[in-house]
Amino acid sequence: MTAVRFAGISKTFGDIVALQPTDLDVASGQFLTLLGPSGSGKTTLLNICAGYLAPSAGCVIVGDKDVTRIPARARNMGMVFQNYALFPHMTVFENVAYGLRVRRIDRAEIERRVTDTLAMVQLGGFGDRAITRLSGGQQQRVALARAMVIEPDILLMDEPLGALDRQLRKDVQLEIRRLHIARPRTTIYVTHDQEEALVMSDRIAVMRAGRIVQAGSGRDLYERPLDVFVARFLGESNLIPGIVASLDDGTAGLRVDGLTKPIEGRATQGLCLHQPAFALIRPESVRPIADGIQATVVERVYLGEIIALRLRLPNAQELWCRRFAAEIPDSPTQAIGWDRAAVSILPELSPEERNQVLC
């Protein structure tokens, strides 16, 4: 079942297009992440969903109700802000209770729900604390509790972990994931951090320049990116430029200067024969092969059980390779190759985006 549907939603500020007409469905109970660099329109889309911004066109449908003209305060959405936006003059308890008091829920019920929610985010016993006496991680959890306690139709989060240090961020990511699995709520999460997106999401929508470039599971996006932008944004990638030399039935061959044989791989939508394209080979797919391409080792990075090699191909193209240490002989040159199934041939821009650029 669809919990939220964005239909033709767009937003312009004067001459600036913050969001191109966008369609997106979020299934009930799904954790969807809007992933993209700053200025890609992800926060705009989130704020339109919350009702903080009115779209220039299109509508937002929650359940089967069009909420486009319903003000933020009547939408029943729980928002977690980037800087938490906790009320500094209230205690932890009062912050979490705020939305319930607004809803005129009786005292005993408020007490019970706030206490339960604080326990859920592991802040039991913190109710009387002043907000200013909490650490960043604790403040983040108060913000989460405040948004969840009202049983929102949709939980919205705008880069909520940005202010935390790296280790804490990892802990909180897993905690949010656990909370979501224990009690799935429809969630829209905004981040520019690909790892965060991969850890937490059921589905990821990659955004760029006010558009959703591709939406799918983390695995889909990693293994079958539609274009170079998505490939670069998720995970590490080797992208080798060339010219499409053959194209048939889902397979493409890419002619690359300085390599004797074209690189073959799965053809992605939008390729044209004799046009420039890229071969995507993930570093973990590059491996030693007895009769492979002779590559020079430019750099060898020891990462514990993994070794990363920066290799130079005969055409001066560089490639990263990540293998278990035991697989890599200690020599200045390596014969390397890859499985055809692990290679994608990609256009620089997805067909849809190319249309945008041409328009």
Q: Using the minimum distance from each CB to another protein, give the nearer residue, 85 or 335.
A: 85
Of residues 128 through 147, those in contact with another protein by CB under 8 A are 146
Q: Using the minimum distance from each CB to another protein, give the nearer residue, 45 or 319.
A: 45
Based on the shown chain and the rule CB under 8 A, indicate whether residue 14 belongs to the binding site for another protein.
no
Based on the shown chain and the rule CB under 8 A, indicate whether residue 150 belongs to the binding site for another protein.
yes
The radius of gyration of the chain's CA atoms, rounded to the nearest angstrom, is 24
Candidates 90, 79, 189, 199; CA nearest to 143 is 79
Candidates 329, 254, 236; CA nearest to 289 is 329
| Shortest reach from residue 94's CB to another protein, in Å | 10
- H or E stretch covering 21: strand 16-27
CA 67/CA 54 separation, integer angstroms = 11
Q: Using the minimum distance from each CB to another protein, give the nearer residue, 97 or 200.
A: 97
Query: Beta strands of 28-103 (E only): which ranges?
Result: 31-35, 57-62, 65-66, 77-80
Q: How many CB atoms lie within 10 A of CB 271?
A: 17
For residue 116, what are the β-bridge partners? Answer: none
Binding-site member from 23, 57, 89, 272 for another protein (CB under 8 A) = 89
Binding-site member from 28, 76, 296, 356 for another protein (CB under 8 A) = 76
Q: Tell me the window of 86-94, 250-258, 286-294, 335-343 that interacts with another protein (CB under 8 A).
A: 86-94
Binding-site member from 77, 164, 213, 309 for another protein (CB under 8 A) = 77
| Shortest reach from residue 189's CB to another protein, in Å | 16
| Shortest reach from residue 255's CB to another protein, in Å | 53
| Shortest reach from residue 87's CB to another protein, in Å | 6
Of residues 91 through 120, those in contact with another protein by CB under 8 A are 98-99, 102-103
CA 77/CA 148 separation, integer angstroms = 9
Q: How many CB atoms lie within 10 A of CB 38?
A: 8
Cα–Cα distances in Å, from 34 out to 71, 166, 217, 222, 237?
23, 20, 12, 15, 21
Candidates 43, 123, 39; CA nearest to 81 is 43
Binding-site member from 36, 41, 55, 78 for another protein (CB under 8 A) = 78
Based on the shown chain and the rule CB under 8 A, indicate whether residue 85 belongs to the binding site for another protein.
yes
Q: Tell me the window of 65-73, 197-205, 297-305, 311-319 that interacts with another protein (CB under 8 A).
A: 65-73
Looking up tokens 């420039």, which residue turns up? 276
For residue 130, what are the β-bridge partners? Answer: 91
Binding site for another protein (CB under 8 A): 50-52, 71-79, 81, 83, 85-89, 98-99, 102-103, 146, 150
